[in-house]
Amino acid sequence: MIAVFDTPQLVAEEAAAAIAAHVAAESPTTVALAGGSTPSATYERLAAMDIDWSGVTLWLGDERWVAADHPESNIAMARRALGAGAHRLVAPDFGVGDPEAAAADYARALTACFAETDADNRPGLVLLGMGDDGHTASLFPGSDALAERDRPYVANWVDDKQTWRLTATFPLLWSARKVFFLVTGEGKAEMVRRIVEGGEPLPAQRVAAGADDVTWFLDAAAASRLRETPL
């Protein structure tokens, strides 16, 4: 499903409403958080809503290999934007000191979370963004994690950025009960067209193609190059 709204602000509002509806209907459940400005605006709206988070375990679809209080940390952004809603956020342990060990540790923690909240041990709702190169989570074009089929969460070296990222893999993202892509801005419009209409096998397209229930939340700018703009 593709939903288009006039402004980024409306995307954040409508996505927040859909997330709140999922939490109300499916709790206990898990919600995977994405980094970036559009998700951050969505989380700020969630923080202002009357939501019972007590049955919700939050986790990260990906994270930079930086300390939890670093300005680029998704953990820090989520806690800041969600406020009290983030009290059950399960985060990677950077004290492990090694990205691959931290990813393996986190995979075990997430497996336990899914077992507690879902009869089939599946993630509930996964929120994702998309880069202008077609990456999602930290599944970047050309990176090794694209080939992973056994482990749910791995350390992924991103050569273009010369840094490690921790990321959910395709099998974990494909297993989610729902996936929401939150994408705004003219700078993403061509990639949205290539993925949504062109079906190019870039990481975001591959996640969308393999998941059961996918909704794209787009603003008018991000949807501007689609031949037929959905309602």
Q: What CATH number is associated with residue 182?
A: 3.40.50.1360
Q: SS3 letters for 42-74?
A: HHHHHHCCCCCCCCEEEEECEEECCCCCCCCCH
Does a structural domain hold residue 227?
A: no
Does a structural domain hold residue 228?
A: no
Does a structural domain hold residue 224?
A: no
Does a structural domain hold residue 230?
A: no
Does a structural domain hold residue 231?
A: no
The structural domain count of the chain equals 1
Does a structural domain hold residue 6?
A: yes
What's the pTM value of the predicted model, to 2 decimals?
0.96
pLDDT score of 168:
98
Alpha helices per DSSP H over the chain: 8-26, 37-47, 74-82, 99-117, 170-174, 189-192, 203-210
Quick: pLDDT tens for 4-13: 999 999 999 9
pLDDT score of 18:
98
Does a structural domain hold residue 229?
A: no
Quick: pLDDT tens for 188-223: 999 999 999 999 999 999 999 999 999 999 999 999
Give every residue of the chain whose pLDDT is below 50, as ranges. none
pLDDT score of 96:
84
Determine the Cα–Cα distance for residues 197 and 225; give it in Å rounded to an integer: 10
Does a structural domain hold residue 225?
A: no
CB 182 within 8 A of CB 217: yes
Containing structural domain, residue 214: 2-219
Using DSSP's 3-state secondary structure scheme, residue 198 falls into coil
